[in-house]
Amino acid sequence: MVQSQLIRHQVAIAGQVINAQTKKAIAKVEVMITKAPDAFTHWLGLKSLQHGDRSSYLTRTAFDGYFHFWDLPEGEYTLTASLPNAARRYGTAMIAVTVPSYIEGIEGKIIMTAADMELPITVLNGNISNQNGEPVFMAKVRVKGSTESTFSNDKGQYSLIGLESSEIKRIAIVSAQGYQPTSQSVVISHPSTDLQPPLNFILQG
């Protein structure tokens, strides 16, 4: 009886992980194959039990945000990306990709399947205006207990990125030259594809 054999061609899944807000590359993101063809999943399980080797289904992005998986069989895959050391600042991203079947006449060449992902991050943003409804430029925004801060632009808009998420209410403080400081309580939601509602401020002169 002839046993079926897993045929693995020289193919690759490759992509880049970027910050969903700034569009900049993120290094050291863990990218894992969380779903794969049954035959390959079985092969990975045996390999992991025998050698404790996770390299075939787990990789990390380089300094430029790029990652790749080599030597995969054709089929449907799901990749999940996360940044473990910053899990309260970044969420996870997931993508489904298809590695194409072996094509006659291209042996020895790489079949590349693109898998770019955007990692969601905590964002606190809004508008700062005065009592007349005019935008306030260069108003400083910070969250009490955090070292992060930012300033509003000439339209009164601000964006504070990468705060640690928490279910506990925190205090956002705004100050600007010529105005009285003001504050509001806010809950920094866990990062997701849904943006946090804007937090607007009105400063009194």
| Sequence-separated (6 or more) residues with CB below 8 Å from residue 153 | 137
Residues 95 and 127 both lie in one domain: no
Q: In this structure, what CATH number is given to the domain that contains residue 100?
A: 2.60.40.1120
Domain shared by 89 and 29, yes or no: yes
Tokens, residue 77: 């895959």
pLDDT at 27 over 90: yes
Instruction: Please report which confidence band the pLDDT of residue 109 belongs to, taking 50, 70 and 90 as the band edges.
Output: low
Q: Are residues 115 and 128 in the same domain?
A: no
The DSSP string of 72-105 is --SEEEEEEEE-GGGTTTB--EEEEEEEPPP-TT
Where does the pLDDT of residue 54 fall: very low under 50, low under 70, confident under 90, or very high at 90 and above? low
Model pLDDT, residue 167: 87
Total of domains in the chain: 2
Where does a domain end: 96, 119, 142?
A: 119
Residues 132 and 42 in one domain: no
Q: Are residues 193 and 128 in the same domain?
A: yes
pLDDT for the residue numbered 190: 85
105 is a domain residue: yes
- Tell me the residue range of the domain where 95 lies: 11-119
Are 24 and 106 in the same domain?
A: yes
> What one-character-per-residue DSSP string does 120-139 give?
-B-EEEEEEEETTS-B-TT-
- Work out whether strand 66-70 and strand 11-19 pair parallel, antiparallel, or are unpaired: antiparallel
Model pLDDT, residue 108: 54
Would 4 be classed as within a structural domain?
no
Question: Considering the domain boundaries, does residue 19 fall inside one?
Answer: yes
**127: which 2 tokens?**
């508008």
pTM of the predicted model as reported, rounded to 2 decimal places: 0.80
Helix (H) or strand (E) run with residue 49 in it: helix 38-51
- Domain boundary among the residues 77, 99, 119 is at 119
If asked whether residues 106 and 135 sit together in one domain, one would say no
Sign of CA dihedral 132, 137, 138, 140: positive
Does any domain span residue 5?
no
pLDDT in tens, 125-166: 999 999 999 999 999 999 998 888 999 999 999 999 989 898
39 or 88, higher pLDDT: 88
Least confident of 48-52, 91-95, 123-127, 150-154: 48-52
Residues 183 and 104 grouped into a single domain? no
Name the domain boundary from 119, 144, 161: 119
Strands 93-99 and 75-82: what pairing? antiparallel
Mean predicted lDDT score pLDDT of the chain:
86
Which of 87-91, 148-152, 157-161, 182-186 is predicted least confidently?
Answer: 87-91
Q: What does the pLDDT average to over 98-110?
A: 64
The answer to whether 126 touches 193, Cβ cutoff 8 Å, is no
Do both 30 and 93 map to the same domain?
Answer: yes
- List b or e across 88-120, with b for residues whose CB sees 16 or more CB atoms inside 10 angstroms: ebbbbbebeeebeeeeeeeeeeebebebebbbb
Average pLDDT over residues 85-94: 91
